[in-house]
Amino acid sequence: MNRRLLRLAAAGFSLAAAAAVNAPASASAGQAGGATPTASGSVPFACTPFRPSAPEGASVESVTATAVPAGTFQVPGSPPLGGGQVPDVPAHCEVTVTLTHPGANDHAKVQIWLPESGWNGRFQAAGGAAYAAGNIGSVAAAVKQGYAAATTDAGVDTSGLDSSWALDGQGGINAALLENFASRSVHEMALVGKQVVDGVYGHTAFRSYFNGCSTGGRQGYLEAQRYPTDFDGINAASPAVNWNQFEVATLWPQVVMSEQHTYPTACEFNAFNKAALKACDKLDGIADGLISDPNRCDFDPRRLIGAKVVCDGKEYTIGAADAEVVRRIWDGPRDGNGRRLWYGLPVGADFGPLASSTTTDGVTTGAPFIVPAEWVANFVKKQPGFSSANLTYPQFEEIFRTARTEFDPVIGTRDADLSAFRDAGGKLLTWHGDADPVIPTAGTVDYRKRVEARMGGSAKVDDFYRVFLAPGVAHCSLNGADDLAALTAWVEQGRAPGVLHATLPTADGRKVAREVCRYPMVSRYAHGDPNAASSFRCVKP
């Protein structure tokens, strides 16, 4: 008998149900696997406050359970994480387990939602964004797809944009909450969530998945690095790994503009991206509004000096200072000796988030992106009122090195040794947009290369960890992707994904079907309709 069937049967599934969940995965992420397992002798579904065992070093402070009828879920809060709706969420049980750690005075809430019927037998954990450790909207969406799902708030802000919890009453780092946010709470959520699933349904989930983007992507990598047996599959998109490099590096555009005393308008910045697209679009064999391999785009922004652009009815002439600002932003931060500190904004990515400015009474100053600005102010400088708008090059370099020294062991999430995750049979899938304006795509490639160097090369790493780079795609915005279904088929059927099917945005506002290639392959036009995915092939760069 198949070893997987024996393991499922031991977990409480009938052999018939175990065989069913071993069937091929369907195209739907929510129904991948093609079956809804049932348990032989499982307990009747009851929405009761099941009390799990506390993870090591923690205690259970409280447990509540609420039966919720089917309907539309209004996600609490405001964007980026809140404010939306998830329609047609089925009837489910919401269990909230609050954990605390001795001496920390923290209260980390783990929320587990369990569908009353139609459970697909799987557990899915949802990651967070920015300074939020979790996302309850993603939990609602997962339950709608048939999962028992969980997330955690780590005892910190849930809006994603508030890191005022960083400091304790004495002006030092709140080490307990930082540990929660950086690593502890996601691991504890995995342990507690799976216990609650077992307690409510009467048997364990037969597969466990993590699903997150940005901070959620970083959490997924952290799990693979430190807690390799928590999840069978990890879907970690646009991952915020190399935290202290990329987070501080995203202030580099502000430093450049301040030091060059030049603040191009959004229209002027856009002119450079249009010129780069015109120069590099055809490198993939056809002008289709996408730069398929930004690494090959060697457009020099100085070629645009003297060009006229019209913005809101006003004509601007691109000057040498404008071109130098763009050149340095694309190149990325360097130290006083010209050595690269980290990677710059990808060519073709929107300058807006990181290179914003504001003009008051005729005086223009920088407007730093809130996430790195708060990281530097609250954590690195420990001065909540500190402004990153006018940093000099030496000040920036000092902050960069201080952040790495103090916080890399806590939240760096850059350990390239994934051998324990590989040996546990885990699979890690990542996609990252080539036009991500807030987390440089090159950082994800850098991490992947370091894993290859440590673990035997590309082919061996591909056995358990694959990266897909999506042309034209911004931060956490790959539409129509089948990433979770691809991961499920890989974990449950051994079908490693060669491509991801998705819809990509072109520079002229169209949406085109494409197969996103597995790194290091890149897309190249072969023949036929340029709007059809079948007209392109993945080739070596």
Q: 267-290: per-residue pLDDT in tens?
A: 999 999 999 999 999 999 999 999
Average pLDDT over residues 401-427: 98
Q: Supply the pLDDT for residue 3.
A: 32
Cα 162 to chain centroid distance, Å, stands at: 18
pLDDT above 50: residue 30:
no
Which residues contact residue 532 at a Cβ distance below 8 angstroms, ignoring those fewer than 6 apart?
A: 513
Question: Which position has the higher pLDDT, 16 or 495?
Answer: 495
The tokens describing 73, both together, are 């879920």
Average pLDDT over residues 365-394: 97
Is 436 assigned a catalytic role? yes
Average pLDDT over residues 463-481: 96
Q: Supply the pLDDT for residue 12.
A: 34
Q: Supply the pLDDT for residue 1.
A: 33
* Separation CA 72–CA 90 (nearest Å): 9
Lowest pLDDT segment from 17-21, 254-258, 489-493: 17-21
Q: Supply the pLDDT for residue 77.
A: 85
Ordered alpha helix ranges (H), 60-184? 136-144, 175-179
* Separation CA 365–CA 11 (nearest Å): 61
Is 501 assigned a catalytic role? no
Of 475, 483, 523, 535, which residue is the catalytic one?
475
* Separation CA 253–CA 367 (nearest Å): 10
Q: What is the CA radius of gyration of the chain?
A: 24
The tokens describing 347, both together, are 């060519």
Average pLDDT over residues 405-426: 98
Average pLDDT over residues 488-494: 98
Average pLDDT over residues 53-60: 96
**Number of neighbouring beta carbons within 10 Å of residue 88:** 10
Class assignment of domain 46-241+412-502? alpha beta
Contact 489, 521 (CB under 8 A): no
Q: For residue 523, report the phi and psi dihedrals to the nearest 5 degrees.
A: -80, 140
* Separation CA 440–CA 443 (nearest Å): 6
Give all strands (DSSP E) within 270-343, no chain letters. 308-311, 314-317
Of 163, 208, 214, 523, which residue is the catalytic one?
214
Give residue 20's pLDDT band: very low, low, confident or very high (50, 70, 90).
very low
* Separation CA 507–CA 269 (nearest Å): 14
Q: Supply the pLDDT for residue 309.
A: 93
Give residue 252's pLDDT band: very low, low, confident or very high (50, 70, 90).
very high
Is 214 assigned a catalytic role? yes
Dihedral sign for Cα 408, 409, 410, 413, please: positive
Residue 29 burial by Cβ neighbours in a 10 Å radius (0-12, 13-18, 19+) = buried
* Separation CA 163–CA 380 (nearest Å): 12
ω into 80 cis (within 30 of 0) = yes
Average pLDDT over residues 153-159: 90
Average pLDDT over residues 4-30: 34
Opening angle at CA 518, ends 480 and 495, nearest 5: 80
Of 153, 157, 434, 436, which residue is the catalytic one?
436
Average pLDDT over residues 305-333: 95
CA quadruple 236, 237, 238, 240: dihedral, nearest 10:
-20
Contact 229, 333 (CB under 8 A): no
Q: Supply the pLDDT for residue 42.
A: 63
Q: 77-109: per-residue pLDDT in tens?
A: 887 778 899 999 999 999 999 999 999 999 999
* Separation CA 428–CA 464 (nearest Å): 6
Domain range annotation of the chain: 1-42, 46-241+412-502, 246-410
Averaged pLDDT score across all residues of the chain? 91
* Separation CA 284–CA 133 (nearest Å): 39
Instruction: Convert 238-262 to b/e letters by CB count within 10 Å (16 or more is b).
Output: bbbbbbbbbbbbbbbbbbbbbeeeb
**Number of neighbouring beta carbons within 10 Å of residue 92:** 28
pLDDT above 60: residue 171:
yes
Opening angle at CA 405, ends 401 and 408, nearest 5: 110
Contact 112, 95 (CB under 8 A): yes
Lowest pLDDT segment from 18-22, 64-68, 432-436: 18-22
Give residue 311's pLDDT band: very low, low, confident or very high (50, 70, 90).
confident
Q: Supply the pLDDT for residue 342.
A: 98
Terminus-to-terminus CA distance in the chain, angstroms?
Answer: 44
Give residue 159's pLDDT band: very low, low, confident or very high (50, 70, 90).
confident
DSSP 164: G
Give residue 156's pLDDT band: very low, low, confident or very high (50, 70, 90).
very high
Average pLDDT over residues 531-535: 92
Question: What is the residue type of 165?
Answer: W
DSSP letters spanning 345-408:
PPTTS-STTTS-EEEETTEEEE---HHHHHIIIIIIS--TT---TT--HHHHHHHHHHHHHHHH
pLDDT above 50: residue 142:
yes
The tokens describing 237, both together, are 């998109």
Which residues contact residue 421 at a Cβ distance below 8 angstroms, ignoring those fewer than 6 apart?
A: 224, 225, 228, 428, 464
Average pLDDT over residues 361-379: 96
Give residue 36's pLDDT band: very low, low, confident or very high (50, 70, 90).
very low
pLDDT above 80: residue 21:
no
Of 15, 49, 427, 452, whose CA–CA distance to 207 is shortest? Answer: 427
The tokens describing 159, both together, are 């809006």
Of 397, 384, 394, 353, whose CA–CA distance to 250 is shortest? Answer: 353
Average pLDDT over residues 181-185: 98
Question: Which position has the higher pLDDT, 393 or 8?
Answer: 393
Contact 304, 275 (CB under 8 A): yes
Contact 227, 153 (CB under 8 A): no
* Separation CA 153–CA 167 (nearest Å): 18
Average pLDDT over residues 447-453: 98
Opening angle at CA 312, ends 311 and 317, nearest 5: 25
pLDDT above 60: residue 394:
yes
Three-class DSSP category at 237: strand
Q: Supply the pLDDT for residue 122.
A: 98
